[in-house]
Amino acid sequence: MRYSLLLPFALLASPALAQTSPSITAADMPVVGDSLRLSQASPALPASAPPLSRNGANQTWNYAGLVATAQRVVRYNNVSTAAGTLLQLTFNNAFFSPDTRATLVSPQGLPAAAGTLPVTDPLEFSAVSSADYRLVGYGGTISGTAVPVTYASRAQQDVIYRFPISYGNAADVSNSLLTTPVALASNGYFSQKRQRTNQPDAWGTLTTPFGTFQAVRVVTTLADHDSIALGGAPGQGLTLPLVREYKWLAKGVHVPVLTITTTAVAGSEVIASVEYRDVFRRFVGLAARDAATDAVLGAYPNPSAVGTGLRLVVPAGSGPLTVSGTDLLGRQLFTKAYPSSPGGVLVLDAGTFGSFRGVLLLTVTTARGTATRRVVRQ
């Protein structure tokens, strides 16, 4: 009888006990065939964005206010698709080169130190196993020949993650050394010594324009020392400013849901880039934007509740204009035309939005171009 009285309390407590950090494994990394779209946002974060210092258990990070300014697509292919005998022998041959055997190849730029070398068609080779996700080398075309660039040894490869990744794990440190082959010395030489430190410092709920996820945050600190020599000239070494990558990882997404990269400048952390997993977005060229409307366009209340109207502030005396609403997948929710806006305020009644909940984009189109604002319906 005593057990039956305690059981309901145990059941009530179980949801809270079930809230734990996600555990990221090899199954959550890129796979052959992935074609993943990443959006870049301004490094000047919205005022509503949470501070990077927010860490610990069961956190809430709301980055829904990020606005995409550009996109790129990262594709992961089978290593057999990489052209060139040297690349195949180096990265796709378990007998001759087991330490550099890769499972993925992706068109990616070479490390910054190699930026001045005459390399085209750069490729990044990586290997995913149950133990870790690591870079095993790069490839590129020099004077018409596909040439591999590998790490000094397997023990000195760049380990991106060790698995599993979960909040509470101790910091993981790897030291890597990437060097060009001696045969390329006449064309140029570069090396990169890197110390990578991964610290899972938080977990919780992350919201971006792409959606809401349970995520574990990993803070990656990169300490790099690059050396480069061109055409037989003496080599030059440079210790680069400390870089930190704040990465939110979620189950099944294959790349960080959000990455905020900072660089050390005069002893302070300065945000250098913001990138997040996203859907396709159509970007309007700057020349087609209506600067006058964009300067004053506002929506209130924002957030607003389902069943209520919304007011849009536009330049007073605007000529004919159109207001359209789309969700974050690009699906159009409504379009409304107005002959003018004599008072500078347009009212969108509750029926315009129906029962839609979430984040939507309101685009105002005038004869001079367009302007867009993100609004939230709760």
Q: What pLDDT, in 10s, does the model give residues 47-103?
A: 889 999 999 999 999 999 998 888 889 999 999 999 999 999 999 998 989 999 999
Band (pLDDT 50/70/90 cuts) for residue 3 is very low
Provide the pLDDT confidence category of residue 182 given band limits of 50, 70 and 90.
Answer: low
pLDDT of residue 24 exceeding 80: yes
Q: Which residues make beta-bridge pairs with 60? A: 205
Measured CA to CA, the distance from residue 54 to residue 61 in angstroms comes to 8
Give the DSSP H or E segment for 291.
Answer: helix 291-296
Per-residue pLDDT tens over the stretch 246-279: 999 999 999 999 999 998 877 889 888 899 999 9
Cα(312)–Cα(323) distance, integer angstroms: 10
- pLDDT reported for residue 342: 66
pLDDT digit string, tens, across residues 287-310: 466 666 777 777 877 777 788 888
| SS3 at position 23 | coil
State the pLDDT confidence band at 286, using cuts at 50, 70 and 90. Answer: very low
Q: Cα separation of 154 and 175, whole Å?
A: 11
* CA dist., res. 195 & res. 174, Å (int): 6
DSSP classification of residue 290: -
- Which of the 8 DSSP states describes residue 303? S
Residue 130 has pLDDT above 90, yes or no: yes
pLDDT of residue 9: 39
Residue-wise pLDDT for 309-358, tens only, equals: 888 888 777 777 788 888 765 677 887 877 776 667 788 888 888 888 77
- Comparing 30-34, 74-78, 372-376, the range with the smallest average pLDDT is 372-376
**pLDDT computed for residue 2 by the predictor:** 42
Which residue type occupies 126? S
Q: Going from the N-terminus, what domains does the chain have, and what CATH number goes with each?
A: 26-277 (no CATH), 286-377 (2.60.40.3080)
Question: pLDDT grade, residue 145 (50/70/90)?
Answer: confident
11 pLDDT higher than 70: no
In percent, the amount of the chain with pLDDT more than 70 equals 84
